[in-house]
């Protein structure tokens, strides 16, 4: 970008920005709702927001947004307008102009903005005993949803995604598996009585196979496990999840 820069200008920082912008403009295999999009799609982050926010928290947030609009809070409160504008600009940028739609974490700064704005709407409602009970229920259900992913929060999806073994039809990549289970998969295979499995074989082999979720959906090579996706998806008793990003196929699979 600016190779001739001298200190005290931050050459390394500006070079990093330049490299990031170049990589962002490359073609990426964006995967959402079972479909690949080479240059991203506008609804990628909204879909992940609805699937990765605890269900009742999502409902409360939507109610808060509606109240912000209906109650005229944006007209009366400058701080609320600032939050809303910051959230809107970020969503427009990442949904319409950002190509590297491979991880929900790129928009994590929007999460507290959304919660704060929704809280402004919720606090404008009359506080009653039933409202307090509803708030406690929201927190309790959110905690229960997160307990299912204790130790593996990256792969979290809310209760609307069920059965969990079908999450590959909705999302993949770092939204589910970033290699976070790599050191634990051996123990899980032993626990699942699948210690003799073939792990990510070049193609499906006779016997027991365990396939990484990202390889299964074809992020790296769309042809490698196409037959497996089309003929033996992880559903029913033919295949079962053992961790956030791996699937085991039944013991009678032929190559």
CB 238 within 8 A of CB 249: yes
Q: Are residues 132 and 199 in the same domain?
A: no
Of how many residues is the chain composed?
255
Question: Between the CA of residue 64 and those of 123, 194, 232, 239, what are the distances in Å?
Answer: 8, 47, 43, 41
Range of the domain at 212: 179-253
Encoding tokens for residue 55? Answer: 């269900």
CB 125 within 8 A of CB 18: no
pLDDT of residue 250: 46
Here the tokens at position 195 are: 């210690």
Q: Which of 147, 168, 194 is the last residue of a domain?
A: 147
In a domain, 235, yes or no: yes
Whether 215 is covered by a domain: the verdict is: yes
Cα separation, 126 vs 128, in Å, equals: 6
Give residue-wise pLDDT tens across range 178-235. 877 777 777 777 777 776 777 888 887 777 778 888 888 888 888 888 888 888 766 4
75 with 123, same domain: the answer is yes
d(CA 181, CA 188): 10
Question: Are 126 and 192 in the same domain?
Answer: no
- Which pairing describes strands 198-199 and 30-32: parallel, antiparallel, or unpaired? unpaired
Angle at 243 between CA 242 and CA 246, to 5 degrees: 80
162 in a domain, yes or no? no
Here the tokens at position 87 are 């959230």
**Is 167 part of a structural domain of the chain?**
no
> What's the token pair of residue 61?
């947030």
With 0-12 / 13-18 / 19 or more C-beta atoms within 10 angstroms meaning exposed / middle / buried, residue 112 is exposed
Do residues 247 and 234 touch, judged by C-beta distance below 8 A?
yes
One domain for residues 27 and 132 = yes
In whole angstroms, give the CA distance from residue 37 to residue 30: 5
In this predicted structure, the answer to whether residue 62 has a pLDDT above a threshold of 80 is: yes
pLDDT at 236 exceeding the cut of 50: no
pLDDT, tens only, 108-137: 999 999 999 999 988 877 676 677 888 888
């Amino acid at each position: 970008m600016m190779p001739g820069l001298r200190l005290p200008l931050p050459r390394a920082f500006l070079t990093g920005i330049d490299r990031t912008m170049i990589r962002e403009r490359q073609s990426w295999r964006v995967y959402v709702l079972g479909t690949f999009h080479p240059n991203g799609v506008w609804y990628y982050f909204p879909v992940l927001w609805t699937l990765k926010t605890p269900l009742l928290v999502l409902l409360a947030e939507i109610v808060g947004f509606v109240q912000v609009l209906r109650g005229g809070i944006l007209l009366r409160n400058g701080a609320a307008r600032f939050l809303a504008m910051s959230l809107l600009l970020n969503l427009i940028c990442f949904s319409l102009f950002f190509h590297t739609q491979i991880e929900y974490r790129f928009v994590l700064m929007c999460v507290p903005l959304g919660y704060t704005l929704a809280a402004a709407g919720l606090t404008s409602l009359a506080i009653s005993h039933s409202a307090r009970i509803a708030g406690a229920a929201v927190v309790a259900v959110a905690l229960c949803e997160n307990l299912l992913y204790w130790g593996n929060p990256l792969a979290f999806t809310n209760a609307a995604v069920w059965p969990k073994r079908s999450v590959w039809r909705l999302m993949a990549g770092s939204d589910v598996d970033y290699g976070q289970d790599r050191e634990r998969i051996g123990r899980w295979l032993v626990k699942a009585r699948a210690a003799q499995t073939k792990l990510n074989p070049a193609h499906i082999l006779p016997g027991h196979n365990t396939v990484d979720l990202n390889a299964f959906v074809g992020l790296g090579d769309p042809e490698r496990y196409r037959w497996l996706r089309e003929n033996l998806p992880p559903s029913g008793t033919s295949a079962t999840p053992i961790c956030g990003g791996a699937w085991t196929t039944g013991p009678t699979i032929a190559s």
